[in-house]
Chains A and B, each alone.
Chain A
Amino acid sequence: MTLLADILTILLNGLQQGAIYVLLAVGLSIILGTLKFVNFAHGALYLVGAYLGLFITGQVPLNNGQLAEWGIQSYGIGLGFIAALIIVPIVVFVIGLLMERFIAQAFYDRPDTDQILVTFGLAIIVQEMLRALLGGSSQPFPQPSWASGPIALPVVGNFPRWRLGVIAITAVLVLGVYALVEYTDFGLIVQAGTLDGEMVRLLGIRLSRPYLVVFGIGAALAGVAGVVGGPLANVNPNIGTEQLVPAFLTVVIGGVGKIEGAVVAGLMLGTLQVLLIQTGYAAWSQVGIYALAALVLLVRPQGLLGSEVDVS
Chain B
Amino acid sequence: MSDEPRDATATAAADADAEVTGGLADRWASFRDREISTVLLTVVGVAVFPFLFNNFLDGYTQLATLMLIYGIFAVGFDILLGYTGLLSFGHAVFFGGAAYAAGIFSASVSTSPLLVLLAGTVFAVLLAWIVGFLSLRRGGIYFAILTLTFGQMSFYLAASPLAFLTNGENGFTSVDIGHLLGVIDIHGGVPFPLTMLVDNMLYVFVAVMTVLSVAMANRILHSPYGTVFRAIRENERRAEFVGLDVWRYKLMAFIISAAFAGIAGSLFAIEGNYVPLQSLYWTESGRIVIMTVLGGVGSLFGPLFGAGLYLYIENIVSGFETLGPFWHLILGVVFVVAVVLFPNGIWGGIDYVRDMVVGGEDE
Interfacial chain B residues near A290, Cβ < 8 Å: 149-150, 152-153, 156
Q: Is the CB of B153 within 8 A of A121?
A: no
**Which residue from B85, B89, B150, B161 sits with its C-beta under 8 Å from A283?**
B161
Interfacial chain B residues near A129, Cβ < 8 Å: 329
**Residue B221, interface by CB 8 Å:** no
Q: Is the CB of B142 within 8 A of A312?
A: yes
Q: Is the CB of B340 within 8 A of A106?
A: yes
Q: Is the CB of A121 within 8 A of B157?
A: no
Interface residue tally of chain B, by bracket? 35 or more
* CB-CB nearest in chain B for A291: B153
**Residue A308, interface by CB 8 Å:** no
Q: Is the CB of A121 within 8 A of B339?
A: yes
**Residue B333, interface by CB 8 Å:** yes
* CB-CB nearest in chain B for A118: B339
Q: A248-B145, A249-B149, A252-B142 are in contact. Are A116 and B87 (CB under 8 A)?
A: yes
Interfacial chain A residues near B290, Cβ < 8 Å: 121
Q: Is the CB of A38 within 8 A of B141?
A: yes
Q: Mark B122-149, 1 if CB is under 8 A from A, else 0.
A: 0000000000001001111110111011
* CB-CB nearest in chain A for B338: A121
**Most chain B beta-carbon contacts within 10 A, residue among A117, A124, A290, A311:** A117
Q: Is the CB of A132 within 8 A of B152?
A: no
Question: How far apart sit A305 and B139, CA to CA, in the bound complex (Å)?
Answer: 19
**Residue A298, interface by CB 8 Å:** yes
**Residue B331, interface by CB 8 Å:** yes
Q: Mark A277-290, 1 if CB is under 8 A from B, else 0.
A: 00000011011001
A contacts with B: majority SS: helix
Q: Is the CB of A297 within 8 A of B144?
A: no
**Which residue from B87, B161, B326, B333 sits with its C-beta under 8 Å from A117?**
B87
Q: Is the CB of A297 within 8 A of B137?
A: yes
Q: Is the CB of B81 within 8 A of A114?
A: no
* CB-CB nearest in chain B for A249: B149
**Most chain A beta-carbon contacts within 10 A, residue among B134, B150, B152, B343:** B152
Q: Is the CB of A114 within 8 A of B339?
A: yes
Interfacial chain B residues near A298, Cβ < 8 Å: 134, 137
Show 14 residue pairs from A and B whose CB-CB distance is below 8 angstroms, ordered by the A residue. Answer: A111-B85, A112-B141, A113-B85, A116-B141, A120-B289, A121-B336, A124-B331, A124-B335, A132-B325, A252-B145, A287-B153, A287-B156, A291-B153, A297-B138
**Residues of chain B at the chain A interface (Cβ within 8 Å):** 81, 85-87, 89, 134, 137-142, 144-146, 148-150, 152-153, 156-157, 159-161, 163, 282-283, 286, 289-290, 293, 325-326, 328-329, 331-333, 335-336, 339-340, 343
* Known pairs A312-B139, A312-B142 / 12 extra A-B pairs, C-beta < 8 Å: A66-B325, A113-B81, A114-B339, A114-B343, A118-B336, A120-B289, A121-B335, A125-B333, A283-B161, A290-B153, A298-B137, A312-B140
